[in-house]
Structure 1
């Protein structure tokens, strides 16, 4: 009677070609090695393959060179027994560690952007998968939130991520500015930069306009001073030539108007009209009769 041990020994001695019939091993799935091994073991079961060596050889035959390097030591020097199980456990372990490292690096470059805090958390959880610790995801998520939200989150150390995400959404809704203010607070190269450039241009134009107005005002004041100076010169000159104004010169005491400066002195009853000597405007007018009415 053949024992189980003898039967396995005989199976290990069979040509490998006998077990290739009907085995459909799917392409290796490095992101989910556990699922891949479960699929492969299902094919082994369908094909009736139980040999440890055969399983081992099937698996290493499906590995690309980059994944073969992860278990190079086992491929070159496999253990005497349980080669397949050793290869399976180490490949899952090492690829998971490498994958987690890459995922963590990827997560560290993610930013909140225009997403709500809860949306950003779900995005990080999707990238992380089940292998990355939740505490690491929480640390990345919290560090990307605005400072005012971080302060509130830090005060809730025992709350779950779902509760914190809902709380963060509510804080963001309260603190979100109006559309007009939000437009003015856009980031680099956006509306704020355009507004700053426009303000600078307006300031420049105002300075130029102010300079032009000041220049025109100075020219106007200078012209006014020259005009006043010429007017005063003419007035003084006329005054020096004719001490009496036109009306007193022409009508004497009967004048009803007077233009200053005028040195006319009204004549007394017992004396003839007195005038300050000056050049007569009309020497031919010597009698009172020659003075016409006003």
Structure 2
């Protein structure tokens, strides 16, 4: 299956992304397995979709009904959007750390962010001030 798929339908970059499925296809459900691997390799995460939703900039060349349809396609679960709104309010370095726990609930993320911010605040307080030479 790997050679046939890679040679006829997939470019080498795509084939590398789904190499495991191409090399070891399941005995049944090959199409579904390949489809799932491709979707996982290329589909935007819900967080990325939520960010796109937050960054929309007006109608553009769409009708209002088309914009609404596009917005709905980006998010089927309002809870993830609320999460994205919360994360958007945090400093980038805190967001990067919290990204390591994508399954944590918002209360846990908030407490973790509190801890990160406390550590950063203490670290900033301990930075020695540079003594400038006095002018004569």
Bigger relative CO (Cα 8 Å, ≥ 6 apart): 2
- Tell me the TM-score normalised to structure 2 length: 0.35
- Tell me the TM-score normalised to structure 1 length: 0.20
**Rg bigger for which structure?**
1
